[in-house]
């Protein structure tokens, strides 16, 4: 599948969420051409029949443009909500008492039902309960198996079925609900490349999802709860990637802590060689406006300077008035940051020590050699994508062309920093490897006559996990004569 779209000219990936504003094949094509590398399908909205046309459109455009494209299915996770009120809404007065109970009755200004028994079992006196994305704050005064008496610390208007967050305790509930399990089966049947797991609290949540996925897709853990931040290393060990999901994270953590937590997650993910996505409200004003605020541009730039693999659009591309402009803005911000002479130095503020393996040693050497001989690109032959992930971990200054015979592997590269992935026929010899690397570098505009390229592969060819070859080659410019790949 040689690509008709040239490499993006940037290393950071762009994720665009699909929704009402971006559900037509024509709009999806425009988003891809504007710079979207990955399309997020949010399972919190709509049913399976709504998603099938999106998947079909992406795959049809992928085939037409001959560009491997990533599909990320985002599972809803266990959403906590209060019950309903007799009048539809009530006013919670600051300083008053308010009761959460398990009665199957409409609520009023003094009480409301809470249909989540696990909260009653886990909550402790003094713990906070946040309502409606943190707009209102309750403090637990007493807790029993069917009744929580609280003091309203921050009041406001509370209406039917508003969301509830409990940041101070780890709830004894799985990250996968029955709906998530059904959605997961659907996503895998439809060929999902990545599965995003919401409201992860502990490594065990990731392990359960991995078992259910069974290697059919890569797994991204969304970090949006303080409990997940506290057990971040264990989660990173089991996940293929993580997301800094700043929506709920910004509710459960004090706002001033979110930038610190974001940097902590990005640095930890990079150190362990896991792709990391920064998401939520990145260009929020572009839901309604054709241009972002300067603060939003700075926010996106900061994530890129910190070394995030990808930045994500949510409502901006899913429901906004300017979806194509939002993707184009992400693309232009990333290119501007990466053109900064100081960008490469800032990337390496985070230390990424190699493991004691041949593959890691060669990956680190590939970056060093590319810099020393002023190579134009690193060409990586891979079956599973693990070699590409190792190279990306070291954040080389030159582009990386990932060549793989597996379309599934090429598609999963859409969240990986610096990777331009192409599905192509496998090679069977060293000479064939060198020839294909040179031709593909020329064909995709990553090198020209006289340039050097660094080639990384494994011998015997076609064997996963056998990375043991590092080779430097100079191009003559005549490699394409009479060849087609």
- Say yes or no: 279 and 183 in one domain: yes
User: What residues pair up with 157 in beta bridges, in sequence order?
Assistant: 91
Instruction: Express each pLDDT in 334-345 by its tens digit.
Output: 999 999 999 999
CATH number of domain containing 193: 3.20.20.60
77: nearest Cα among 181, 165, 229: 181
Active site members: 40, 81, 222, 280
How high is the pLDDT of residue 480? 79
CATH number of domain containing 376: 3.40.1380.20
Pairing of strands 89-92, 156-159: antiparallel
The tally of domains found in the chain comes to 3
Is 6 contained in some domain?
no
- Say yes or no: 240 and 315 in one domain: yes
Is 2 contained in some domain?
no
* pTM for the full predicted model: 0.92
d(CA 66, CA 446): 17
318: nearest Cα among 291, 280, 292: 280
d(CA 289, CA 343): 29
**Do residues 363 and 395 make contact, with C-beta atoms less than 8 angstroms apart?**
no
- Say yes or no: 465 and 379 in one domain: yes
Is 482 contained in some domain?
no
Task: Work out whether the CA dihedral 284, 286, 292, 298 comes out positive or negative.
Answer: positive
Those residues whose C-beta lies under 8 Å from the C-beta of residue 306, and which sit 6 or more positions away, are 262, 263, 266, 267, 346, 350
- Say yes or no: 160 and 183 in one domain: no
CATH number of domain containing 101: 2.40.33.10
Task: Give the H/E segment covering residue 30.
Answer: helix 25-34
Task: Give the H/E segment covering residue 381.
Answer: strand 377-381
- Say yes or no: 127 and 195 in one domain: no
- Say yes or no: 464 and 329 in one domain: no
- Say yes or no: 211 and 305 in one domain: yes
Pairing of strands 467-474, 452-458: antiparallel
Instruction: Look up the domain containing 373 and give its range.
Output: 358-474
- Say yes or no: 191 and 300 in one domain: yes
Cis peptide leading into residue 460 (ω within 30°): yes
- Say yes or no: 311 and 207 in one domain: yes
d(CA 413, CA 402): 9
d(CA 113, CA 101): 5
- Say yes or no: 109 and 195 in one domain: no
Q: Tell me which residue has tokens 């050097």.
A: 452
How high is the pLDDT of residue 16? 98
How high is the pLDDT of residue 2? 47
411: nearest Cα among 47, 27, 77, 73: 73
Q: Strand order in 467-474's β-sheet?
A: 419-423, 400-404, 377-381, 452-458, 467-474
How high is the pLDDT of residue 4? 57
Among 143, 165, 187, identify where a domain stops. 165
Pairing of strands 13-18, 276-279: unpaired
Is 3 contained in some domain?
no
- Say yes or no: 289 and 424 in one domain: no
- Say yes or no: 380 and 263 in one domain: no
Q: Tell me which residue has tokens 């009479």.
A: 482
d(CA 72, CA 196): 7
How high is the pLDDT of residue 479? 79
The segments of the chain whose pLDDT lies below 70 read 1-5, 465, 482-485
Instruction: Express each pLDDT in 283-327 by its tens digit.
Output: 999 999 999 999 999 999 999 999 999 999 999 999 999 999 999
């Amino acid at each position: 599948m040689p690509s008709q779209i040239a490499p993006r000219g940037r290393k950071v990936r762009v994720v665009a969420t699909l929704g009402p504003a971006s559900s037509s094949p024509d709009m999806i094509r425009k988003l891809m051409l504007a710079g979207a590398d990955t399309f997020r399908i949010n399972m919190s909205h709509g049913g399976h029949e709504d998603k099938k046309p999106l998947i079909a459109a992406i795959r049809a455009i992928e085939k037409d443009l001959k560009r491997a494209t990533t599909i990320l299915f985002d599972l809803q996770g266990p959403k906590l909500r209060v019950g309903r009120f007799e009048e539809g809404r009530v006013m919670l007065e600051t300083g008053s008492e308010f009761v959460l109970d398990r009665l199957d009755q409409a609520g009023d200004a003094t009480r409301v039902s809470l249909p989540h028994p696990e909260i009653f079992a886990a909550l402790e006196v003094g713990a906070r309960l946040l309502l409606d994305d943190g707009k209102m704050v309750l403090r637990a005064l007493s807790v029993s198996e069917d009744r929580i008496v609280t003091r309203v610390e921050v009041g406001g208007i509370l209406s039917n079925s508003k969301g509830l967050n409990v940041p101070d305790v780890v709830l004894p509930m799985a990250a996968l609900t029955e709906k998530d399990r059904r959605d997961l089966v659907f996503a895998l049947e439809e060929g999902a490349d990545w599965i995003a797991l919401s409201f992860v609290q502990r490594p065990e949540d990731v392990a359960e999802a991995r078992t259910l996925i069974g290697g059919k897709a890569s797994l991204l853990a969304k970090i949006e709860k303080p409990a997940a931040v506290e057990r971040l290393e264990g989660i990173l060990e089991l996940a293929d990637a993580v997301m800094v999901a700043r929506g709920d994270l910004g509710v459960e953590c004090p706002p001033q802590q979110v930038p610190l937590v974001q940097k902590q997650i990005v640095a930890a993910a990079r150190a362990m060689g896991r792709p990391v996505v920064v998401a939520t409200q990145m260009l929020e004003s572009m839901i309604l406006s054709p241009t972002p605020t300067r603060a939003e541009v700075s926010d996106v730039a900061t994530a890129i300077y910190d070394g995030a693999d990808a930045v994500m659009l949510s409502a901006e591309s899913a429901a906004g008035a300017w979806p194509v402009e939002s993707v184009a803005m992400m693309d232009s911000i990333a290119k501007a940051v990466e053109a900064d002479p100081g960008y490469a130095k800032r990337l390496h503020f985070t230390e990424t020590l190699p493991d004691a393996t041949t593959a890691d040693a060669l990956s680190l050497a590939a970056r060093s050699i590319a810099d020393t001989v002023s190579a134009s690109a690193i060409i990586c032959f891979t079956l599973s994508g693990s070699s590409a992930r190792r190279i990306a971990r070291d954040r080389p200054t030159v582009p990386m062309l990932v060549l793989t015979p597996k379309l599934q592997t090429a598609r999963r590269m859409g969240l990986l920093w610096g990777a331009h992935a192409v599905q192509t026929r496998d090679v069977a010899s060293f000479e064939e490897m060198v020839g294909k690397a040179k031709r593909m570098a020329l064909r995709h505009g990553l090198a020209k006559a006289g340039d050097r390229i660094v080639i990384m592969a494994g011998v015997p060819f076609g064997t996963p996990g056998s990375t043991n070859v590092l080779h430097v080659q100079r191009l003559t410019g005549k490699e394409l004569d009479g060849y087609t790949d």
